[in-house]
């Protein structure tokens, strides 16, 4: 299984732990990721101009050499998917291609790494690699951009693929009503109060559910829920202490990979209690 790989900016910055776990897990699962040469930023949620945003993704998609494009980031994934839809408009496509050196025909297929593992590899294959079933409860948190407005592999309102992945690893996905609620990450700079309030809603419900960790699929969610967790605790005078774990880290733990190789020592919310519980 080989994919063109579009890591996105975070993998080379704040989400180094995500990158470490992706590398550790994917190679062991036989999923080959060939990083796209000279890729650019997808624009995240910060480029307002539609044609610019579409062009940014189109440039990346044009360089995929006919392979499906895998990305670990919900924002990148959402932008690539939306670009493909937008480029069905032939006027826009002509305009965008006018600006590109390598033209894009609109035929590349973006996939989130979660989809690659759950659907392309398949949970039946994954379960063969599980050496240490995890005896923990986990919140399946998909974030706002993975399943909406729509993707081809899960329900927009009540997705289940991450739940199934968690069960496959021996852990118990808890009932969680905010699976696809916004974490507040994208507005952290512009409206910190609201951003922290949104994060608080998610964290409190996760805490109430009795889970040992929250599983995320997006570096932005991770940043918000992990790095800003202390700020949430201070602002609302509550104690959360909820480890935020990338789904690739969770897979790695179940495969028996050492926590340090998965970057689990790089989190701001300590993960040691969680790791020892998961390893029992």
Partner 1 sequence: MVDNEKPKNIGVYLCRCGGNISDVVDLQSITESVKGENVTVNIQDYLCSSAGQEKIKSDIEKGKIDRVVIGSCSPKLHLETFRSMVKGAGVNPNLLEITNIREQASWVHDKEGKDSVNSKVRGLIKGAVARMSSIEPLVPLEKKLVDRTLVVGGGIAGITTALELADDHEVILIEKQPYLGGHMIGLSKTFPTLDCSQCILTPKMVAVHNHPGITMHTQTEVADVAGSPGDYSITLKHSPRYVDIKKCISCGACTRKCPAGAIFLPFAQTVPQAYMIDMSKCDRCGACVKICPRDAVNLDAKEEITTISVGAVAIATGFEPIDPSFIEEYNYPSPNLLTAIEFEEMLSAKSKTGMRLQKADASFPERVAFVLCAGSRDFTGKGRKHCSKVCCIYSQKQAQLVKKMKPEAEAWIFYIDMRSAGRRFEEFYHHTQEKGVNYVRGKVAEIIPKQDGTLMVQYEDTNLGRKGREIFDIVVLCPALIPSAGTKELADRLGVPLGDDGFIEEKHVKLDPVNTLNQAVFAAGCVLGPKDIHDSVTEGVSAAHKVSQFLGKGMILIPPEKPMILECNGCGDCVKACPYNALTLSGGKAMLSPLACTGCGICVPACPIKGIEIRNFTRSQLKAQLKAMLEDAPGVVVFIDPYAYAAADIAGVNRKQYSSLVRFISLPSIHVLDADVVNAAFEYGATGVMLIEGTTDEKLASRSDDLYKTLKKDTRKHKKPLRYSHIETAQYEKLTDLLNVFASQAGAKAEKRSRKEKGEEKGEETMDA
CB 171 to partner 1: min, Å: 21
CB 175 to partner 1: min, Å: 9
Stretch that binds partner 1, among 72-80, 106-114, 152-160, 215-223 (CB under 8 A): 152-160
Question: Read out DSSP for 35-103?
Answer: EPTT-----TTT---HHHHHHHHHHHHTTSTTSPEEES-HHHHHHHHHHHHHTTSHHHHHHHHHH-SS-
CB 220 to partner 1: min, Å: 23
Q: Can you tell me which of 35, 208, 265, 272 binds partner 1, judged by CB under 8 A?
A: 208
CB contact at 8 A, 40 and 6: no
CB contact at 8 A, 72 and 28: no
Place of tokens 């650019």: 40
261, two tokens: 């190789």
CB contact at 8 A, 45 and 185: no
Print burial letters for 231-267: b (CB count within 10 Å at least 16), e (below 16).
bbbeeeeeebebbbbbbbbbbbbbbebebeebbbeeb
Does 155 contact partner 1 by CB under 8 A? yes
Interface pattern 163-192 for partner 1 (x via CB under 8 A): --------------xx--------------
CB contact at 8 A, 25 and 251: yes
What's the rounded Cα separation, in Å, for the pair 188 and 90?
36
Q: Can you tell me which of 94, 107, 158, 191 binds partner 1, judged by CB under 8 A?
A: 158
Interface pattern 104-143 for partner 1 (x via CB under 8 A): ----------------------------------------
Does 193 contact partner 1 by CB under 8 A? no
Q: Which is nearer to partner 1, 13 or 210 (CB)?
A: 210
CB 232 to partner 1: min, Å: 18
CB 173 to partner 1: min, Å: 15
Stretch that binds partner 1, among 47-55, 87-95, 151-159, 229-237 (CB under 8 A): 151-159
Q: Which is nearer to partner 1, 18 or 141 (CB)?
A: 141
Place of tokens 């880290």: 249
CB 209 to partner 1: min, Å: 8
- How wide is the angle at C-alpha 160 spanned by C-alphas 158 and 277, nearest 5°? 120
Tell me how many residues contact partner 1 (CB under 8 A): 6
Print burial letters for 73-88: b (CB count within 10 Å at least 16), e (below 16).
bbbbbbbbbbbbebbe
Does 157 contact partner 1 by CB under 8 A? yes
Residues that bind partner 1 (CB under 8 A): 155, 157-158, 177-178, 208
């Amino acid at each position: 299984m080989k994919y063109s790989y579009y890591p996105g900016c975070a993998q080379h910055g704040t989400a180094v732990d995500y990158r470490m776990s992706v590398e550790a897990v994917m190679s062991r699962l036989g999923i080959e990721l060939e990083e796209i040469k000279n890729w650019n930023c997808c624009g995240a949620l910060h480029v307002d101009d539609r044609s610019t945003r579409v062009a940014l993704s189109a440039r990346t998609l044009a360089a995929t050499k006919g392979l499906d494009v895998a990305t670990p980031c919900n924002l990148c994934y959402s932008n690539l998917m939306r670009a493909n839809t937008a480029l069905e408009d032939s006027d826009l496509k002509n305009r965008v291609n006018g600006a590109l050196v390598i033209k894009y025909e609109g035929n590349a297929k973006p996939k989130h790494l979660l989809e690659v593992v759950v659907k392309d590899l398949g949970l039946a294959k994954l379960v063969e690699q599980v050496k240490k079933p995890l005896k923990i409860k986990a919140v399946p948190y998909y974030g706002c951009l993975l399943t909406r407005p729509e993707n081809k592999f899960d329900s927009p309102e009540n997705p289940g693929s991450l739940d199934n992945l968690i069960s496959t690893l021996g852990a118990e996905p808890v009932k969680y009503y905010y699976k696809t609620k916004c974490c507040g990450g994208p507005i952290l700079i512009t409206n910190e109060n609201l951003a922290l309030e949104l994060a608080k809603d998610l964290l409190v419900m996760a805490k109430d559910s009795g889970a040992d960790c929250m599983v995320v699929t997006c570096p932005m969610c991770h940043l918000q829920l992990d790095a800003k967790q202390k700020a949430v605790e201070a602002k609302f005078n509550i104690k959360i202490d909820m480890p935020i774990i990338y789904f690739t880290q969770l897979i790695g733990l179940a495969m028996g990979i050492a926590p340090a190789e998965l970057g689990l020592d790089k989190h701001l919310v300590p993960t040691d209690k969680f790791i020892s519980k998961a390893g029992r």
